[in-house]
Structure 1
Amino acid sequence: MQKMMMILLLLSIICVTILFLKKQSTGKKISTPRSPPTFPVIGNLHQLGRYPHRSLCSLSYRYGPRMLLHFGRVPVLVVSSADAAQDVLKTHDRVFASRPRSKIFRKLHYDGRDVGLAPYGEYWRQMKSVCVLHLLSNKMVRSFRDVRKEEIRIVMENIRKSNSSRINLSKLLASLTNDVICRVAFGKKYGGDTDFMELIERFEKLLGSFSIGTYVPWLAWLDWISGLDAEVEKTKNDFDEFLERVVQDHVDGGGDKNDFVHVLLAIQREKSIGFEIDRISIKAIIMNIFVGGTDTSFTVMEWAMTELLRHPKCLNILQEEVRGICKGKSNVSEEEIQDMKYLKAVIKETMRLHPSLPLLVMINVWAIGREAATWGPDAELFRPEKHLDTSVDFRGQDFHLIPFGAGRRICPAISFATVLIELVLANLVHQFD
């Protein structure tokens, strides 16, 4: 039986190779970006490596900032420079406004019913508008000031009270971000236990997993053999159970009456956006807020602290700035942050070198942030001073620095994330050595 399977597999590969070569020789010649050589069946998948953003960056040095790769049967345009990103995200923004949807993403993101992966169109526009108006606008972000202040105070007290000489700062920052998002979006804290944090980790790990069936459908059985399909299904069901609990809790009268989930339920009842949204849409949207907001903000904080510990001189400069402005005060306020230029430079430099999502679809943000033509010969080094005398910002207008993306699908939570990151870092370096 095993020998028969091997023979069938070999025959399949031979057939596909013949068809591939025939198509290559008879296909119509069109102008396309340069491509690395491909293998039959898998295309360029073997060139991705353990860290795809690094592998793709290396390939771009040889094949240019616009590369056409083939992941199995799927042609993929990979962009690795600011100019090329501007072409995709501004000049031809509408053409690229919809997101590719892998098998894993379809499962975990409710088949594109959320904001992040919904196809470009009226549904996406309406759902994004609801999120911005009721949660992510500058006005709403300012209204959450007391929540941020209280949750940061709790974390600082926990650090101070600890009798250990070592603090798991990663765990504390992840928990802080989670608690802030839960309170402002859902009206109360959810999931403070270890099992829930483990579920979040499983979810995020799967989003970065590779599914061979997405790119080579006839090899999809390998995802089943490897256990990937079962893991995706279990995580999807576990997370859906949590989201169902959140929604039902609000249906039963829980949470703040003005929180985001109550807003979504009101829109469902009143049909106030011109079309109906159902329970699945509500769960998909709050999943976006919960997972997207927790992971991205926490990642920037963690990398910022890592780089500051690696570069004591930068840490000292930042501490002098923060402590000078907040002299005599125990906590840093949001008003005081506005005058902290070096703090903002540290955060920009962190986002340049360590974007939360190194690959925005196939825009290699990691590579763009390390372009020597833009950032100089020391582009690989952590140098916050780069940002002190420049107007380059990360809000989507400067394509040299796009950790939140740009164009129509730019992340709408920039202000929400930035103010929390700034406040947490300022208080950490102000209150502790």
Structure 2
Amino acid sequence: MASITTILLSILLAVLVYRLVNNLIRSRRKLPPGPRQWPVIGNLPHLGPAPHQTMAALARKHGPLMHLRLGQVDVVVAASASVAAQFLKTHDANFSSRPPNSGAKHIAYNYQDLVFRPYGQRWRLLRKITSVHLFSGKALEDFRHVRQEEVAVLISALANTGSTAVNLGQLLNVCTVNALGRTMLGYRVFGDGSGKSEPRADEFKSMVVEVMVLAGVFNIGDFVPALDWLDLQGVAARMKKLHNRFDAFLTTIIEEHKANVGKGKHTDLLSTLLSLKDDAEGEDEKLTDTEIKALLLNMFTAGTDTTSSTVEWAIAELIRHPKILAKVQEELDRVVGRDRLVSELDLAQLTYLQAVMKETFRLHPSTPMSVPRMANESCEINGYHIPKGTTLLVNVWAIARDPAEWTDPLEFRPERFLPGGEKAQVDIRGNDFEVIPFGAGRRICAGMSLGVRMVQLLTATLVQAFNLGLPNGLVPEKLNMDEAYGLTLQRAAPLMVHPQPRLDQHLY
């Protein structure tokens, strides 16, 4: 008995000595500056309801490379283009994994998906599969007609609203989910696209909405692991329940596809994924059913709401700026004409529209705070020590509004991206860190090319097909542009519009 007690005391002493030495080492290494911390909870009280905004304000005081302590987790925040480039370019390999979080554990098949999976061989396989089979130029071209058909369905639905004001964001979400559903699964998820109720569609929609809600909830257990088992907010329990609903839904979809193999009924991307599962060379190249379901989950949660919310912001900005709207419509009338709807093939010629979309991505990034990354090893950034295991947050929203990078950063000014403008050569695809709505480096958004196409096509078609008025005599200057923070940067108030057709009736 005495020997066991001695062993336990020795272990306890070793742990205490290790922590003491570790803290001494940390204290001698210069961490980035940051606000003072509260006991136990650290800087959690500083975040508030809109962390992207409060962290931007803190960065103005403490600098663009800032250290926070959230509970027991070290966090560094990058709030300038140059600092972001240090993390996402120079030290990209070191920050290629994700920190643990309850959403990935309980909803995303315990890190079996593409978004949250640890960096390594399996992640590279999933990334390769999505790059080749889902988001390559050929794959996007093969399903171009699907996206254009679903946008045409949206236009028809808007043209038939009469004098009723419509929730534009809601219909945009139906359109994007249906376009993705037809591409991934072979059928519309939300019925006929008109927004009418359908039980299976309503069930799926409720699950996607709940994912967005839970993803925006601060879960104490992620930052204070000792309290994780208590699930004080009931978040983990809700996540587990939601996972079971998603799993049942996705399992049914996969089983239906398996039953139709060889019958020629499906020409969708899920069929491609299933063929890779069965026909891949070597066990290391085969997908599991769990990985396929996790990929589907990624597509429908990360690839729909982001698109619809960005288009909603774009239309709101154009309504608020009638002169800019008139320039976009003039370009569409000149390049496309008024006797047909704009297509994806026209987008490359619509220079001013592309500038409008870049400015929308700048001011209203769909993900205002990057999906977190984690330091695999300790490193030094700009002379500061970044400890191993530190969580990295890139404040995409703050970088795109940095007055050191942008003239009049709060103004909606597409001309800044045109030839002769201050940022004429800046792209949004992860190479220019002043505006990185899709992230950058190894973990850049896999669906970026699809997202850009869909956002441009939807915005162009809406502006070409309609004059969008505001209800109840609301003047454009008074349109509410407040943000609601969550997984995606939503409008605090939905955009309600009166669509007034501006083309010949047969186009609707």
Q: TM-score, normalised by structure 2?
A: 0.78
Counterpart in the other structure of 2:141: 142
- Higher RCO (C-alpha 8 Å, min separation 6): 2
Query: For the residues of structure 2 that align with 1:319 and 1:175, how far apart are their CA atoms?
Result: 25
Deviation at 1:102, TM superposition (A): 0.8
* Residues 80, 368 of structure 1: 8 Å contact kept: yes
Q: Does 1:49 align with 2:80?
A: no
Match of 1:263 among 272, 292, 296: 272
Counterpart in the other structure of 2:250: 243
Q: Secondary structure at the match of 1:112?
A: coil
CA distances 1:55-90 after superposition (whole Å, capped 9, x unpaired) = 111110111111111110010111111001101111
Cα 1:26/1:124, change in 2 over 3 Å: closer
Query: For the residues of structure 1 that align with 2:346 and 2:267, how far apart are their CA atoms?
Result: 29
| Structure 1 residues 399-410: aligned runs within 5 Å | 399-410=433-444
Query: For the residues of structure 2 that align with 1:104 and 1:135, how far apart are their CA atoms?
Result: 24
Query: For the residues of structure 1 that align with 2:237 and 2:33, how far apart are their CA atoms?
Result: 38
Q: Secondary structure at the match of 1:370?
A: coil
Q: Does 1:310 align with 2:344?
A: no
Query: For the residues of structure 1 that align with 2:25 and 2:270, how far apart are their CA atoms?
Result: 55
Deviation at 1:313, TM superposition (A): 2.0
Counterpart in the other structure of 1:131: 130
Q: Does 1:200 align with 2:212?
A: no
Amino acid at match of 1:200: V
* Residues 104, 211 of structure 1: 8 Å contact kept: no
Counterpart in the other structure of 2:340: 330
* Equivalent residue pairs, number: 413
Deviation at 1:227, TM superposition (A): 2.8
Amino acid at match of 1:418: V
Deviation at 1:411, TM superposition (A): 1.2
Range moving further from structure 2, 26-35 or 74-83: 26-35
* Residues 186, 260 of structure 1: 8 Å contact kept: yes
CA distances 1:333-363 after superposition (whole Å, capped 9, x unpaired) = 2222221111111110111011111111211
Counterpart in the other structure of 1:366: 397
Amino acid at match of 1:238: R
Cα 1:336/1:92, change in 2 over 3 Å: same
* Residues 396, 410 of structure 1: 8 Å contact kept: yes
Counterpart in the other structure of 1:157: 156
Cα 1:428/1:46, change in 2 over 3 Å: same
* Residues 330, 431 of structure 1: 8 Å contact kept: no
Deviation at 1:218, TM superposition (A): 2.5
Identity %: 39
Query: For the residues of structure 1 that align with 2:338 and 2:209, how far apart are their CA atoms?
Result: 40
Range moving further from structure 2, 210-219 or 43-52: 210-219
Name whichever structure is richer in strand by fraction: 2
Q: TM-score, normalised by structure 1?
A: 0.91
Unaligned 5+ segments in structure 1 are 1-19
Amino acid at match of 1:265: L
Name whichever structure is richer in helix by fraction: 1
Counterpart in the other structure of 2:432: 398
Cα 1:136/1:256, change in 2 over 3 Å: farther
Deviation at 1:168, TM superposition (A): 1.6
* Residues 126, 273 of structure 1: 8 Å contact kept: no
Query: For the residues of structure 2 that align with 1:27 and 1:343, how far apart are their CA atoms?
Result: 50
RMSD: 2.0
* Residues 68, 76 of structure 1: 8 Å contact kept: yes
Deviation at 1:28, TM superposition (A): 4.3
Q: Does 1:380 align with 2:410?
A: yes
Counterpart in the other structure of 1:167: 166
Counterpart in the other structure of 1:212: 220
Unaligned 5+ segments in structure 2 are 1-18, 192-200, 373-392, 468-508
* Residues 318, 429 of structure 1: 8 Å contact kept: yes
Q: Secondary structure at the match of 2:95?
A: coil
